[in-house]
Amino acid sequence: MPRYAAPGRSGSVVSFRDRYDHFIGGDYVPPARGNYFENPTPVTGAVFTEVARGTAEDVEHALDAAHGAARAWARTSVAERANVLNEIADRIEDNLEALAVAESWDSGKPVREVLAADLPLAIDHFRYFAGVIRAQEGRVSQIDNDLVAYHFQEPLGVVAQLVPWHCPLLMATWQLAPALAAGNSVVLKPAEQTPASIHVLVDAIADLLPPGVLNVVNGFGVEVGTPLAGNRRVAKVVATEEIAGSGLIVFGDVAAQRDAFHGKALDGIEMFALHQGGVQALLQHSGYDELLAAASERVAAMRVGDPLDTGTTVGAQTSEGHVRKALAYVDEARRQGARLVAGGERVDPGGELSGGYYVMPTILEGDHRMRVLQEGAVGPVLSVAGFADFADAVKATNDGARPLDVGVWSRDGGAACRAGRLVQARRVWVNNHHAHPAHAAFGRENRRTMLDHYQQTKDLLVSDP
């Protein structure tokens, strides 16, 4: 399998700027107070670029640009906006490898995942909302013989978006695509740990959008929304959720034989848990020992190391702080009685990677009622507990820390679907793992209604003269 050349090396598919200013009004603009912070790559721990430190003055500058562009962008025809979103999708596809390497270098995520999942999903979302906005229709109501109500969907105006460190390009897309489709101008703030890949995306698509429609102001403190929260010039502040607790329910019949379904379920456990983190897996007692042994085999075979190598299955953690949190979680769980089955330590891949942020994939075993196991870790840590039967699995899941996402695996499709209906979660994957299609519902709403976050309804009441 190929290994991509690191940025700054001969043959690399992407180049970072030495310094990233704020992107405001279609141009890069130095920070008002002249401050920058260093941005290290988690792959080696070395600083590879500097990033502007934002302040309230920079936010106001970006809001000036966004408000200046808002009216014209809102009045742009739906067909034209849809064309722009499709062009953005095409541009991402044309720069797929460059964006994937940028994301991997900035966040530590294996490039194979960004190439195979994150960026194709980002492309899908831009194309999806290009279609949604063209299919959207207004309404007409006959109030009485002399009065008709016309209902129009209009953009909010200027919105702010806060993007977390986890999957920054995909997380940005989830909000950018519907906001731009609806006709809003955007002020976007990347996470301080992963600001660079979003700027590579901006460089690739900036010429497709009118100046001021998309603005990027870099890190300005850890408080959510500061100084955007409560700003009267912002119609709405949207913070994409960071990685959250998740759950797995694996029924004992999965272990009945080591066939294709068995392998698919283990693929799901590996992807859902050891790559996402913050996951507790409930394994049924009837297949517990076999499933735990098979998961342990998977962990032993996982390749930890250079995220730019397409053979790597576990890359670097996003920051030194994430490494410390993951290891502190393991220590706390063990103090509370959990058994360390595999991993649980920092990894030094050697060479130039020695300064990077690497953790061995880890399995902890304990009682599902242990609060520390319910809360989950940041990093490649899987917490495992047993359950007796169907009712026990549902109760254990719902009595826990209320995971936002749940995966259910069983050869009995009816039982798996019933469990999926009964667990309290915003999304449940039944016999598949971590699909995020743009046209599927997500939590309380389907993707189409994401437009509602960025639109308001105008009622035009018309009577005969």
pLDDT tens, per residue, the chain with 465 residues: 589 999 999 999 999 999 999 999 999 999 999 999 999 999 999 999 999 999 999 999 999 999 999 999 999 999 999 999 999 999 999 999 999 999 999 999 999 999 999 999 999 999 999 999 999 888 899 999 889 999 989 999 999 999 988 889 999 999 999 999 999 999 999 999 999 999 999 999 999 999 999 999 998 755 555 678 778 899 888 877 655 668 899 999 999 999 999 999 999 888 876 666 667 899 999 999 999 999 999 888 999 999 999 999 999 999 999 999 999 999 999 999 999 999 999 999 999 999 999 999 999 999 888 877 777 777 889 999 999 999 999 999 998 766 678 999 999 999 999 999 999 988 899 999 878 777 776 544 445 567 888 999 999 999 987
Of the candidates 433, 437, 436, 434, the one whose C-alpha atom is nearest the C-alpha of residue 263 is: 433
Report residue 418 as tokens: 């019933």
CB atoms within 10 A of CB 453: 16
DSSP reduced 3-state for 445: strand
Give pLDDT, residue 70: 97
Residue-wise pLDDT for 429-459, tens only, equals: 999 987 877 777 654 444 556 788 899 999 9
Q: What angle do CA 269, 273, 274 make, to 5 degrees?
A: 100
Say if residues 357 and 322 touch (Cβ distance below 8 Å): yes
3-state DSSP helix/strand/coil % of the chain, to nearest 5: 40, 25, 35
pLDDT value of position 370: 82
Joined together, the tokens standing for residue 234 give: 């912002």
Backbone angles phi, psi at 361, to 5 degrees: -50, 135
* Coil, strand or helix at 160: strand
Interatomic CA distance for residues 188 and 251, integer angstroms: 43
Residue corresponding to tokens 């490898």: 97
d(CA 357, CA 359) in angstroms, rounded, equals 7
Distance of CA 42 to the CA centre of its chain: 18
What is the predicted pLDDT for the residue at 1? 53
Dist. CA 421–CA 394, nearest whole Å: 10
CA 142, 148, 150: angle at the middle one, nearest 5?
A: 105
Measure CA 164 to chain center.
7
Within 165-313, residue ranges assigned H as helices are 168-182, 196-205, 260-269, 288-301
Tokens of 321: 């702080």
Evaluate whether 286 touches 254 at the Cβ level (below 8 Å): no
CA distance linking residue 380 with residue 358, whole number of Å: 10
391 in the Ramachandran plot: left (φ > 0), alpha (ψ -120 to 50) or beta? alpha
Residues in the chain: 465
At residue 444, the pLDDT reads: 43
State which amino acid sits at residue 203: D
How is the beta sheet containing 27-29 ordered, strand by strand?
27-29, 22-24, 214-216, 185-189, 158-162, 236-239
Cβ neighbours for 70, distance < 8 A, ≥ 6 positions apart: 155, 157, 158, 184, 185, 212
In angstroms, how far is CA 367 from the centroid of its own chain? 29
3-state secondary structure of 83: helix
Residue 318's contacts (CB-CB under 8 Å, 6 or more residues apart) are 42, 107, 108, 165, 166, 193, 194, 357
- Look at the block and give the residue holding tokens 């399995």: 363
Question: Please, are residues 249 and 407 in contact by the beta-carbon 8 Å criterion?
Answer: yes
Q: What is the pLDDT of residue 449?
A: 61
Structural domains present in the chain: 19-239 (3.40.605.10), 246-430 (3.40.309.10)
Instruction: Give 38's contacts (C-beta < 8 A, 6+ positions apart).
Output: 47, 50, 51
CA angle, corner 51, sides to 380 and 357, nearest 5?
Answer: 25
- State which H helix or E strand residue 132 sits in: helix 119-135
> Other CB atoms closer than 10 Å to residue 197's CB: what's the count?
26
Distance between CA atoms of residues 123 and 86, nearest Å: 9
**pTM of the entire structure?**
0.93
| 347, two tokens | 């990894």
CA atoms within 13 A on the CB side of 347: 23
Label the pairing between strands 27-29 and 22-24. antiparallel
